[in-house]
Chains A and B, each alone.
Chain A
């Protein structure tokens, strides 16, 4: 992938940035960058104002990271939001007195002083909250996987485009230095034509401790936690964190870590806008408990023009540990001239020394190097440049995971029209491209 030209001319950007910097000298601390920026466009201001929606797990990490930036005077954190009052109280302590607290994310979206939101809720909320944030004019960093259904993904892309906001999906492997080294190695032809990418990953867990439905704990707003999903009684095996082992709210390792490993695969293969033509999955289901994601599975994605194959496998063929001592998951890129391993694919991404040490020859292909996943997003907000894990790329990756699970659930191969982004030739599978959402938590 090459760096896309800024949508905002450099001279115009500098003018806005200068105006914003001047205004900031006399403005109160919490002033939205959108107010400071010219023409109401996304912030040329140095200091963006953020709201955090979902503050447990990765959400807590993001809040801590952003609070550190706030303490250094780089950003403002104006709001934290969670449906779990215990988590919200902890987040308030972390964010400090300048951050307001909310249970309902829509209060955050109503705030005119907030430029952007970090969404780190369970997967089943990502699509709806991203669309709503875009419709409210907010820039979005949303945790991976981007969407739970094909329909959600289309809505996310449409909302981001229509509202001209910068969306960054949290598959941060693309911003890792070794991912840059690997793509540079591949794009300079060091493997020749790459025709196959094989991923490996350990299995999804089964639920060894199933428990009956019961009453939700008092600190939890079960209705809001369920959000777009159809109503059902509370069960502690839905949350926290373990939501990802249910197909409806998570989807297993293929979606949790596949959204990292396969994000890198699409990136390295230049396939964000290609899409497979067929998907065939097989796997083993859990034998008991609430969780229904595949424990082990293998999914074969067939791409055409150019032709290549992507295989997601749990466990797959695990290579020996690399020089960084990691081999829990990753992908092997198989080319005419050899192979390259990209270990990890998330915040921990490593490649082989031959790629890390590769120097681009004169006339070779130089590629954009992300300054960091959040920094890349900030640049997208301020300049309009395409983010490295933009909404289209995030949806393309998530679609792979959705389609893999649909094929697994149906027990049959499915055909995909990558241009129309639709399943073809199987009416039931087509209907699984969408999952109507509970009122009022809908797209």
Chain B
């Protein structure tokens, strides 16, 4: 497919033909960061398959601009993703997805640990933020998790502790509960 302009990309993503949409989202990478906000808008308002194509185009941009040797493009994508993430008009599920996009490409020095920790006050993003920070290399992610540990409700502290442990940080006094069963079945064993 020939290189797309931003307008052409958005038009094709909205096309009724799934083959046109698929070709468009697969070619979206080269359109770059400028397309992320418009695509988020399509993902919000489009019908099921159009929204899905827009979302996949966003992922394609993340993975293309995150390629080796393209740091300027990557930085632009990070900035655009942060803008999308902070747009409270967008659906929560899309913004959660953006947290995961950021987990693939944001660099250690591109976020403030205290700002990231603040996001843990919002229960809708808490676990995705934790998982994203667990994945991001560098001290800032660890600092953000440590700061979050101080502000989250008690029942979420073991989750953050598990992420900190995964990053090699000791967390005394917060138990690991991963092997503790919690869910009971209503099925009765046959013949009893």
Q: What residues make up the interface of A, taking CB atoms closer than 8 Å to B?
A: 85, 88-89, 92-93, 95-97, 99-107, 109-110, 132, 135-136, 210, 212, 221, 224, 230-233, 285-290, 292, 409-412, 425-428, 431-432, 434-443
Task: State in angstroms the CA–CA spacing of A387 and B90 once bound together.
Answer: 51
Beyond A106-B180, A106-B182, A286-B22, list 6 extra A-B contacts (CB 8 Å).
Answer: A88-B187, A290-B52, A411-B29, A438-B131, A439-B127, A441-B178
B22-A438 in contact (CB<8A): no
Contact between chains at B181 and A107 (CB < 8 Å): yes
B52, B103, B166, B190: the one within 8 Å of A93 (CB): B190
30 A-B pairs in the complex with CB atoms less than 8 angstroms apart:
A92-B187, A92-B188, A92-B190, A93-B190, A95-B190, A96-B190, A97-B191, A100-B189, A104-B182, A104-B183, A105-B181, A106-B181, A110-B179, A110-B181, A132-B179, A230-B131, A232-B93, A287-B21, A288-B22, A289-B52, A409-B63, A431-B137, A436-B132, A439-B130, A439-B158, A440-B158, A440-B162, A440-B180, A441-B178, A442-B178
**Cα of A147 to Cα of B168 in the assembled complex, Å:** 22
A-B contact count (CB 8 A): 134
Least distance between A238 CB and chain B CB atoms (Å): 14
Q: Give the Cβ gap from B58 to chain A, nearest Cβ, in Å.
A: 14
Q: How far is the CA of A268 from the CA of B68 in the complex (A)?
A: 35
B185: Cβ under 8 A from any A Cβ: yes
Q: B68 contacts A426, CB within 8 Å?
A: yes
The prevalent SS among residues of A at the interface is loop
Is A99 within 8 A of B159, CB to CB?
Answer: no
B105 at the interface (CB under 8 A from A): yes
Q: Are B191 and A96 in contact (CB under 8 A)?
A: yes
Say yes or no: B127 contacts A292, CB within 8 Å.
no
Closest A-chain residue to B186, C-beta based?
A85
Q: Across chains A and B, which 5 residue pairs bring their CB atoms closest together, nearest first?
A: A97-B191, A439-B159, A436-B131, A106-B181, A428-B66
- B142-192 CB contacts (< 8 Å) to partner A: 156, 158-159, 162-163, 166, 177-192
Across the interface, which residues of A come within 8 angstroms of B87, CB to CB? none
CB distance from B42 to the nearest CB of A (A): 15
